[in-house]
Amino acid sequence: MGNFEVIRDKAAMRHWTRSMKKDGDRVALVPTMGYLHEGHLSLVREAKARANRVVVSIYVNPGQFAPGEDLSVYPRDLENDLAKLEPMGVDAVFNPYDLYVRDQSDQDSGLIASDSNGSGHETWVRVERLEKPLCGVNRPMFFRGVATVVTKLFHIVEPDVAIFGKKDYQQFRVLCRMVRDLDFDIEMVGAPLLREQDGLAMSSRNVRLSAEERQKALSISLSLRAAEESVRKGERDASVLIQQVQKTITEAGGHIDYVEIAEQESLRPVITLNCPVVLAVAVRFGNVRLLDNVEI
């Protein structure tokens, strides 16, 4: 389906890129977990502006979900994803069967890479300080899984440039740091966060919100906009802005994982806004955990 190749095998993927590069092509990679929406498609457009060959990877990475998280209910619809990519001018979709080496004992017990004790897969990439704050507090294994799978994707696809959304702000910063520290010869691009018309940050998980939860979740983007407005009017005290956001979201029934204001690259918390910062939040409505942020 589609005017692109769907590649499921690691060796075939590597061979594809190498043959493109032999012809002088520049290859961009857009890593995703599928269930594509306009946010993902905006990354594809960004990729097309920066390379003449675009690969989209679709892989729900078990290694970044802790036991008890939403791996089993993470939304998936490969056929629809391929249909959405068809008019986009993508050259290849990498949809691997499995990216991890697993021993027979892992397979028999149904263990996934994140809770395997290393019988099949035992190598992890950690970005030691940046993985700890914000999402790292409630998901301590998450960035280890992301950094590891993105390393694997980079080794398999060998792109010249990779595009990530700034909706997952800390993820982008962690991966930029990894690329810098480990000398990957890959240009990292952070694309702007895309919102629904009513302000909700686009996310594959939005589909798991009930109508009522979705309505209440609008408090997140509303609170961020109000905080931006407060900064415009002169507020510089981070704790005042954080409390303002917390109040709006809590009153709407959201359970806050964090509301924080941090320096944009180091993600170190700030007390007074006197440098470029990100105001970042993670909030649960029902069983759905949503991220949002604004750069100020």
Ligand X SMILES: Nc1ncnc2c1ncn2[C@@H]1O[C@H](COP(=O)(O)OP(=O)(O)OP(=O)(O)O)[C@@H](O)[C@H]1O
Ligand Y SMILES: CC(C)(CO)[C@@H](O)C(=O)[O-]
64 contacts ligand BAL (rule: CB under 6 A): yes
The residues near 89 (Cβ < 8 Å, ≥ 6 apart) are 48, 54
CB count in 10 Å sphere of residue 23? 8
Question: Residue 35 in contact with residue 85, Cβ under 8 Å?
Answer: no
96 contacts ligand Y (rule: CB under 6 A): no
CA diameter of the chain: 61
Checking DSSP bridges between strand 27-32 and strand 5-7, what pairing results, if any? unpaired
103, with CB counted inside 10 A (0-12, 13-18, 19+), is middle
273 contacts ligand X (rule: CB under 6 A): no
- List binders of ligand Y among 166-205 (CB under 6 A): 168, 171
42 contacts ligand BAL (rule: CB under 6 A): no
The minimum distance between CB 163 and ligand BAL, in angstroms, equals: 13
158 contacts ligand BAL (rule: CB under 6 A): no
Q: Which one of residues 46, 168, 257, 260 is an interface residue with ligand BAL (CB under 6 A)?
A: 168
| Catalytically active residues, by annotation | 40
Out of ligand X, ligand BAL, ligand Y, none, what residue 40 binds, judged by CB under 5 to 8 A for its kind, is ligand X
84 contacts ligand X (rule: CB under 6 A): no
Rounded (10°) CA dihedral 15, 17, 19, 24: -160
Radius of gyration, alpha carbons of the chain: 20
Site size toward ligand X, by CB under 6 A: 18
The minimum distance between CB 180 and ligand Y, in angstroms, equals: 17
Q: Give per-residue burial for 223-240: e unless 16+ CB within 10 Å, then b.
A: bbeebeebbeeeeeebee
The minimum distance between CB 200 and ligand X, in angstroms, equals: 9
- List binders of ligand Y among 220-259 (CB under 6 A): none
Q: Which one of residues 61, 151, 170, 293 is an interface residue with ligand Y (CB under 6 A)?
A: 61
The minimum distance between CB 226 and ligand BAL, in angstroms, equals: 25
11, with CB counted inside 10 A (0-12, 13-18, 19+), is exposed
Q: Which one of residues 88, 193, 227, 241 is an interface residue with ligand X (CB under 6 A)?
A: 193
> In this complex, which beta carbon is closest to ligand Y, that of residue 16 or of residue 164?
164
205 contacts ligand X (rule: CB under 6 A): yes
> In this complex, which beta carbon is closest to ligand X, that of residue 72 or of residue 104?
72
CA distance 230 to 93: 43
Q: In 3-state terms, the chain is what percent helix, strand and coil (to 5)?
A: 40, 20, 40
Residue number with the smallest Cβ distance to ligand X: 165
The residues near 4 (Cβ < 8 Å, ≥ 6 apart) are 85, 86, 90, 91, 92, 93
81 contacts ligand BAL (rule: CB under 6 A): no
Residue ranges that bind ligand Y, judged by CB under 6 A: 31-33, 61, 64, 146, 149-150, 168, 171
Residue ranges that bind ligand X, judged by CB under 6 A: 32-33, 39-40, 42-43, 164-165, 167-168, 191, 193-194, 201-205
